[in-house]
Amino acid sequence: MKKEAGTPVYSNEAPPLILIVDDLHQNLAVLGNILRTEGHQLAIANNGRQAISIALAKNPDLILLDIAMPDLDGLSACRMLKENKLTKDIPVIFLTARTEPEDILKGFEAGAVDYITKPFKAGELLARVSTHLELKKSRDIIIKQKNELTEALATKDKLFSIISHDLKSPFSGLMLMSKLLVENFESFEKNDLLDSITLIRDTADQVHELMQNLLSWARLQNESLSYNPTKLSLAQEVNKTTEVLRLNSAKKAITIDCNISSSYSVFADADLLRIIFHNLIGNAIKFSKNDSIVEISAELDDGYVISYVKDKGIGIPAEKIDGIFKDSPGKSTAGTANEIGSGLGLVLCREMVEKMGGTIGVESEQGAGSTFWFTLPVD
C-alpha cells in the first residue's frame, strides 16, 4: 500500500531524530519539508557550535551538516563531533555546493560518511538518509550484541574463577576428610571422630552457602531470577533469616539483637530480601569475634526504610571500602574462624537492593567493626 505523504513509517518504534545544520533558513525549510514527509523527527541548528551543543544534548541518529558556515564551519564542527566520545558514532552527511574532489575528500577526512550536493534533490536526499539510518541501526544492533556477548563471557569467567578458587579447596577437604574417616574409622577416638564429623558438617554448610550465592548471582546475570515484589513485614523477614543463622552464631557464642518495629513494612521480593539479610547477617557473624554481638535495626526516612546490620568485628581497611560492593570474586577475606567466602555475597546484595529500588552502603573502622545499611521503599 502506498504511503501518504507525511505519514510516519516507524509504527513500532520511535522515528529517527535527524539534526539539520545550515545558516540559511530557506535551506532548513526545504530540508525540513522533505524529511517530514518520511515521518522523521527533526532538530535544527543555525551554526556549528549550536549543532555540537544539540548533538550532545539530544544524541541524534543522523546529522546533515552544511560545510560553508560562518564562525565555525562544517568541517571543523564535524572534527569536534568525532573527537567527542558522546557524539563520535553519529553519522554525518555533509551538505555542500562544492563538487571538486579535493573538497569532497576534506569532508571524508573530517569524519563524514557521505555528502549531498546543493540544490537538494528530494529523491537523492531521502535515499542517502535512509541508507545511513539503516546502517546506523545495524551498527547499533551489532554493538549491543557485542556488549551482551562481552558481558556473558565475563560472567562465564567469573563463574569459572569462583568454581576453581572457592569451591575446589573446600570440596578437596571434604573428600580427604571423608576418605580418612572411611579408611580409618576403627582407629578414631570418639571425641576425634566427633570433631572430624563436625568439621565436615561446617565445611558442607559453607560450600552450600557458596553454591546458593553462585546460583542466585548467575540467575540474576541472566535475568532469570524471579522477582515478585509485595508488601512485607521487615521484622518478620529478619526473624526468618536469624533463625536460619542461629547455629552459625551459636558456634561463636554471638548474640543477634534484632530491634525493628513491627510496624515497619517494605515493598520488596521476599526471596531477594532473604538473600540480602542472609549475606549481611552471615558476614557480620563471620567477621565477628567469639562472645560478641550483632545488632539489627531500622528507621524510616522519606518513604524508605533503612535497615542496619552492625557488628563489632575486625572491620574493613579504609582502602578496601570503595570496592567492597564491586564484582571481585575470589578476593574474599576469611572469617575470624577461617570461614571461606566467594566475594559474591556483597555483590549480590548490591544488585538485589538496586533491583528493588534501593541503595546500599557501609561504614567501617578496622578493628572496631562495620555497619552495613540498605534502603527499600515503603510501598
Residue 82 to residue 69: CA distance in whole angstroms: 18
* Fold matches, 17-120 and 227-379: no
Fold of 150-225: Helix Hairpins (1.10.287)
- Residue of higher predicted confidence among 208 and 66: 66
Q: In what order do the strands lie in the sheet with 41-45?
A: 41-45, 17-21, 62-66, 92-96, 114-117
- Residue of higher predicted confidence among 344 and 197: 197
- Residue of higher predicted confidence among 40 and 14: 40
Interval 241-273: pLDDT, tens: 888 788 778 888 999 999 999 999 999 988 889
For residue 11, give the C-alpha cell. Answer: 509504527
354-364 in b/e burial notation, b at 16+ Cβ within 10 A? ebbebebebeb
pTM over 0.75: no
Q: Quick one: average pLDDT of 165-174?
A: 64
**Whats the size of the chain, residue-wise?**
379
- Say if residue 4's pLDDT is above 50: no
- Say if residue 280's pLDDT is above 80: yes
Helices (H), 227-362: 234-244, 246-251, 270-286, 318-321, 345-355
Give φ, ψ of 294 to 5 degrees. -115, 125
Residue 254 to residue 246: CA distance in whole angstroms: 9
Residue 91 to residue 76: CA distance in whole angstroms: 15
The whole-number pLDDT of residue 1 equals 36
Specify the CATH architecture of the domain 17-120: 3-Layer(aba) Sandwich (3.40)
- Say if residue 3's pLDDT is above 50: no
- Say if residue 341's pLDDT is above 80: no
- When the candidates are 3.40.50.970, 3.30.565.10, 3.40.190.10, 3.40.50.1360, the CATH number that belongs to 227-379 is 3.30.565.10
Name the residue ranges covered by the structural domains of the chain. 17-120, 150-225, 227-379
For residue 361, give the C-alpha cell. Answer: 552502603
